[in-house]
Structure 1
Amino acid sequence: MGYQQIVEEAKPSTSVVVQESPSRLRTWLSNKNLQYDFVMSIILVTLNVAAIIYMIQHKIPFTACIITLVYCTGLYFSFGLFSCLFWFQAITDVEASNLYMTGRIGHICGLGILLHLLYSISPRVALWFGLPSSLWVVAAFIAPLYTMCLASAFKKVSEDTRAYWKFINEPQVRVANV
């Protein structure tokens, strides 16, 4: 082996590193709001269908107000359709994923339908199911409400508080009379 061959073997090979970013579809599918909308829609549709089948099998009449039931059903389907359209638009336009509130409003309408059906079955069942589900409603709207409305207000308050404590913690000038 000659000196030239050893030097050529010792040279590091140049390699190209390609940095891959995740695909839009993968980013879209990993969105927690989309997963929440999808799972909650499946749960609500399943519970509503089960309540309707139970009412048909046991010949239970609708005792709830039919007008509000039809109104909630119409809103549920329209908000669900708009939610699907916004999510499909969000595949190409990431900013459209911020419109997930339509799905949450649709879920509230679906919950209203379910509570109407449960009230027709038994007012106690509606109460037993309605109280815990009202906690879900509050929890489902805290994060979007914070990000849409309250984040800027809390940021301003925290900046003011930080400035106040910075002023308070500054060393004070003391004059000593001798």
Structure 2
Amino acid sequence: MTNTNVSANKPTATIVHESPSPLRVWWMKTNVRYDIAMNSSIIILNIAAILYMKFTKIPFNEVAESWIAYVMGRICNNIGFVIFLHLLYCISTRLALFVVLHFCLPYWLWYIATSTITGLLLCELRDWWKFVNQPQSVAVDQKNRT
């Protein structure tokens, strides 16, 4: 009598588990290499920008575009901070509340103070430069002229 069990007639084979080894070197993973490359390039660009700003005299005069760029930079900084807080709120409401109370409230108070003071100082500086650069009249004594 033959065996009618179908599984007994099938040849047996060893199954090779092809998942990556947990002992695989961490720097061989593509995501880690990509993150290291991108973070390195961002750090290098930031250092180059900071050194350029430090060693190059960038004039901030009364040109309207420079004032607009200053204000737009402040606005974009605020928008980025609000987006950051929204992402924190999506993660955890308690975390967002903690960050707002411990970091944002003092930041906003300092922001308002520096915004108003900086604006007033720039207006005073502009008025002073207008006064200094206006044409000067000099009295000339006609009798002592030879």
TM range (shorter): 0.3 to 0.5
Which of the two has higher C-alpha Rg? 2
> What TM-score do you get using the length of structure 1 for normalisation?
0.31
Which structure shows the bigger proportion of residues in helix conformation? 1
> What TM-score do you get using the length of structure 2 for normalisation?
0.37
RCO greater where, 1 or 2, for CA within 8 Å and sep 6 or more? 1
